A and B are shown apart, each in its own frame.
Chain A
Amino acid sequence: MTATDSLLLNRVRAGDPGSFDELFLRYYGRIYDVVFRLTGDAAEADDIAQETFIRLYRQPLPPGREHNVGGWLYRVAVNLGYNALRAARRRNTYEQAVDVATPADPEAMVTQHDERDRVRAALAELPPQQAQLLMLRHAGLSYKELALALDVAPTSIGTLLARAERAFEARYRATAGQDATGGKDAHE
């Protein structure tokens, strides 16, 4: 029989390395997935996923929280991933700003900003909690799990999610540029 997450976490707290490994094997793929969506970089996603588990390893969740190991891992990973996304965009902006010798090539800009880039740009511009909520909901967390992960009331998730989706749509249209039909495909 498969051990539950909370049983494994209890064993981790008791110093059982095998249980930690089992949690890792159980969640690594999913955690990597959600981080990669944010960073778009395999090496960085792996690094952040590992960092997430190292935090669990160093400081296992306190008693009472062990039923939500998955939610905790997701929240930490999405936090770190979102920070990395923001940092990468700041770097890019800085590089573009100092690169005065080469005027921006409009065509190159267009190819750079393919759909994935636009989606990430829109996410990066959202308030952290909104971006995290969207990622976590998309990763499949229930409202109850989302409430635990983001430390908000479960009844407020619907409102927060609707707000986040509206904000995302607006940012996405904006990053899609002057394209007046940018919102059209948002309703396919």
Chain B
Amino acid sequence: MHTNEGTLRAYLDGELEAQMCNAVAAHLRECAACRKQLDRLASRASATSHYLQALAPRGADLPAPAPVALSRLHARLAQESGRPVSSAPYRPIGGLLEMFKRMFNSRYRAAWAGLAAALVIVSLFAFEPARVAASQFLGLFRVRKFAVVSINPANLKNLDQAGGQIDQLLSDSVTFVKQPGEPVAVANAAEASQKAGIAVRLPASLKPSSLMVQDGVDARLKVDLARAQAILDVAGRTDVKLPKAIDGAEVEFIVPPMVTAMFDCGEPRPMTVKPADGQGPAVNVQMPQPSSNCVTLMQLASPTVNTPPGVNIAQVGEMALQLAGLTPAEAQHFSQAIDWSSTLVIPLPTDAGSFRDVTVDGVPGVLIESNPRQSGGPRYSHYTLFWQKNDTVYALSGTGDATRAIEIAASLK
């Protein structure tokens, strides 16, 4: 008597009781017909499995992170119970913080350093992305001045633990209207001025070892409040409440073309920086040769961030500062001392460096000096000097003594 099909099929899957399983195995040793039947069942089972496997989601069809899906479920439940909530559709693209994270991520910093002087400082200090992600989505209308906020590095650990979720905090929709360009070598200040649309200034006595212009970026994003709050909740930051007014807000982020002059840096090395996750554009950049005398001067028209009316930038800013580890009282105190619409806030972990206000190029500026790193970066101290003059933002960075930077800045013409 042959073993029936169902029993053989269960035998294949190891789903028979031990006694039954032994009996079937014994029968199969004796019965060629049942062995043949078993082979047929096995190949059909494996073919079916192969076809069903082909249906698995890939790429953009992969599921959203579960916390994100959960936030949508909550929104849906609230909506069905009659409470007004956001129902912005989810789009699986990185958010604004993701964009900033990319800018500051050590893997991207070379790329973005060529684009946004106002944002360069953080990259020069090679901060961890989460350290800086938090406080950079401020409604920055135009950079007029700089303010450094000291961040307790211990408080940043929470952010690190929140990991990949923080980077999707504010939005899931970033559209690049204009992708970052490639750096193009130019012959002199006049050509650079023409390409970048600003009056490029260079030091009187120093000839640049390289001079380049890189096209800017125009990116837009839309804020999904329910999603952002859900991610914050999951990250354990239920204390941080996002202002309702930012929900659905469309924010435009424009970085104009940037001119980079390097002095005593030798021939720049070309380098392609690709996003680690494969999303977003790869960027070609020119990296300076490491040298103790190398000084880099970047200048560009002020980056701008356009936020819709009704968004209280100070409120968003305070929230960001809290996320970066300030207490609500500290955040409020700092917030009241600055004009968010014209101040670029630079978060500086206290273990990464120190800062002081300086007069540079005849205007107020800020000098940030890094602590020498123990490992994984330059072992000498690094400085960056920021200032804004005539609507152009300047960043001058190098290693060693910052006095030289102030002298160079004073000699610009």
- Chain A interface (Cβ within 8 Å of chain B)? 21, 24-25, 28-29, 32-33, 36-38, 40, 42-43, 45-46, 49-50, 53-54, 57, 115-116, 119-120, 122, 134-135, 138, 142-143, 155-163, 165-166, 168-169, 172, 185-188
Contact = CB atoms under 8 A, between A and B. Distances in A.
B5 A162 contact: yes
B77 interface: yes
Contact of B50 (A33, A42, A57, A188): A188
Given A50-B73, A157-B15, A158-B10, A28 B63 contact: yes
Contacts of B15: 142-143, 157-158
Contact of A50 (B8, B11, B67, B69): B69
Contacts of B23: none
Contacts of B69: 24, 28, 32, 46, 49-50
Contacts of B43: 186-187
Contact of A186 (B41, B47, B66): B47
A54 B73 contact: yes
Contact of A159 (B4, B47, B61, B80): B4
Secondary structure type dominating chain A contacts: helix
17 contacts: A21-B70, A25-B70, A28-B69, A28-B70, A42-B60, A45-B61, A54-B73, A116-B55, A119-B52, A120-B55, A155-B6, A158-B7, A158-B15, A159-B4, A162-B5, A169-B47, A187-B44
A156 B6 contact: yes
A50 B73 CA distance: 6
Interface of B: 4-11, 13, 15, 41, 43-45, 47-57, 60-61, 63-64, 66-67, 69-70, 72-73, 76-77, 80, 89-90
Contact of B44 (A115, A165, A185): A165
B57 A36 contact: yes
Contacts of B54: 115-116, 119
B365 to A, nearest CB: 48
Contacts of A120: 55
Given A37-B52, A158-B6, A172-B51, A50 B57 contact: no
A33 B70 contact: no
Contacts of A119: 51-52, 54-55
Given A158-B9, A161-B45, 17 more contacts: A24-B69, A24-B70, A25-B70, A29-B63, A33-B57, A36-B57, A46-B72, A119-B55, A138-B53, A158-B11, A159-B4, A159-B5, A159-B9, A162-B6, A169-B48, A186-B43, A188-B50
A118 B70 CA distance: 33
Contacts of A36: 55-57, 61, 63
Contacts of B48: 134, 138, 165, 168-169
Given A42-B60, A159-B5, A54 B55 contact: no
Nearest to B12: A158
B63 A33 contact: yes
A134 B52 contact: yes
B47 A187 contact: yes
A186 B50 CA distance: 9
